Structure 1
């Protein structure tokens, strides 16, 4: 009887040890799991000092004669940093769709060696700035191309939260409304309602093309005065400027 009790006790003890070991292994596995996601913030810029909202619109319109340019996107880590570099995967998820960007034509493909070496979460880091290298084409003067990106799992990273592993970049050569144009005390207060011809005038005649910065009051006042002055000079020689819908280009009085 005693031997039987000891036998059952021994098996119970072994079962408990196995259960604890299994639980510890599960906890360890969970603790070591990492995933990645795209940074998004409506109040703060990314590590390169530029806005990174739910999507980013880029226009070569602001770049003059530049044919190749870069948009930087922050990729962040969930989980613990590693003591080794860890490659990650990003793909285009709208390949072949109408209006979709074409790898090798509108941007440098993610499987290009130049990009592959960039898609790495460095050792002991929780974020990395990823360059998306865009190439200008003549069609961009009238068209916009959409690049839908998605972070995929690999041997280093598990699947992240679905709506955080995707990001949209829109590329064009047309004038596009800056994301922060309507922000309080920003460009709406300085130049009035946005328009493509108005923006062209601001760039060509006011000499201002940095539309991702916060304007201090004195500088905003200066830009208002300069815009009205340059527009008056232009109209005296060439007449009023109109948007495509017939709206006349004007600037608000400085205040």
Structure 2
């Protein structure tokens, strides 16, 4: 009888103790709505789309907090003292997190003005508080978006590097010329860097493997007939070094 009484008292004590813990538990971070950019640096060049005078670039954003069954707006502003782009070059639009989604985009309309043919400009974009999102002290509350009409290092070169090695302007021009295209929208499914736009970067590993082999053969053919030796990087960190296509994965 004594043992049962002690056991009963212990059960009551644990119930009260655990109940008290539940009452005192602070509200989880998951419940606070917030939003931030999925990266701190983005870039675009009209050289990828030379037939366009205007284009819309989607800067990816991510949600913290609960999903909702309605669309939510994301307010953004331009940080003037960190921006070199002029007003005629762009239009920054309101961002959106769609109903039921944990990600969204901030659209930037870019204009192919003549000045972009010989310079790269920067747009510094900052998320600011609104009625939908008040939590802003997150990973990347702001980002730098650079754009131009010149040939520049593709934004996804961190993914293309596995197939083509280090970037240089001449090497990228050679690849584009041999492929007859101005971009390779590939993003590795297992990349530690999240794909910022799956609808855009949708090329498969199989396609890229075939392209890599084609470029390998084109480079070998170029080197075979070159009168100045193997092709070398013309700029960047590897300027002056021979270009070598990495071995297949």
The bucket for the TM-score relative to the shorter chain is 0.5 to 0.7
Asked if residue 149 in structure 1 is aligned to residue 125 in structure 2, the reply is yes
Equivalent residue number for residue 36 of structure 1: 35
- For residue 73 of structure 1, give the secondary structure of its aligned residue in structure 2: strand
Give 1:181 deviation, angstroms: 3.4
- For residue 89 of structure 2, give the secondary structure of its aligned residue in structure 1: coil
Aligned residues: 201
Equivalent residue number for residue 80 of structure 1: 66
C-alpha distance in 2 between matches for 1:123 and 1:142: 41
Give 1:182 deviation, angstroms: 5.5
C-alpha distance in 1 between matches for 2:51 and 2:154: 20
Asked if residue 100 in structure 1 is aligned to residue 84 in structure 2, the reply is yes
Equivalent residue number for residue 173 of structure 2: 200
Equivalent residue number for residue 221 of structure 2: 229
- For residue 67 of structure 2, give the secondary structure of its aligned residue in structure 1: coil
Equivalent residue number for residue 54 of structure 2: 68
Equivalent residue number for residue 120 of structure 1: 96
Give 1:151 deviation, angstroms: 0.9
C-alpha distance in 1 between matches for 2:151 and 2:242: 17
Contact 2:118-2:150 at 8 Å conserved across structures: yes
Contact 1:31-1:79 at 8 Å conserved across structures: yes
C-alpha distance in 1 between matches for 2:220 and 2:81: 46
Asked if residue 177 in structure 1 is aligned to residue 158 in structure 2, the reply is no
Give 1:109 deviation, angstroms: 3.1
**Any idea what the Cα deviations from partners look like across 1:22-46, whole Å, max 9, x if unmatched?**
x99x959x8764111122xxxxxxx
Equivalent residue number for residue 12 of structure 1: none
Q: Which sits farther off after the overlay, 201-210 or 150-159?
A: 201-210
Contact 2:67-2:99 at 8 Å conserved across structures: yes
Check 1:244–1:251 CA distance in 2 against 1; reply closer, same or farther (3 A cut).
closer
Asked if residue 210 in structure 1 is aligned to residue 183 in structure 2, the reply is yes
CA RMSD of aligned residues (A): 3.7
Asked if residue 109 in structure 1 is aligned to residue 53 in structure 2, the reply is no
C-alpha distance in 2 between matches for 1:68 and 1:249: 37
**Any idea what the Cα deviations from partners look like across 1:163-204, whole Å, max 9, x if unmatched?**
421111110122212345365xx44653x5422233223223
C-alpha distance in 1 between matches for 2:179 and 2:241: 14
Q: Which sits farther off after the overlay, 154-163 or 204-213?
A: 204-213
Contact 1:228-1:251 at 8 Å conserved across structures: no
Equivalent residue number for residue 17 of structure 1: none
Q: Extract unaligned runs of 5+ from structure 2.
A: 1-22, 189-204
Equivalent residue number for residue 58 of structure 1: 44
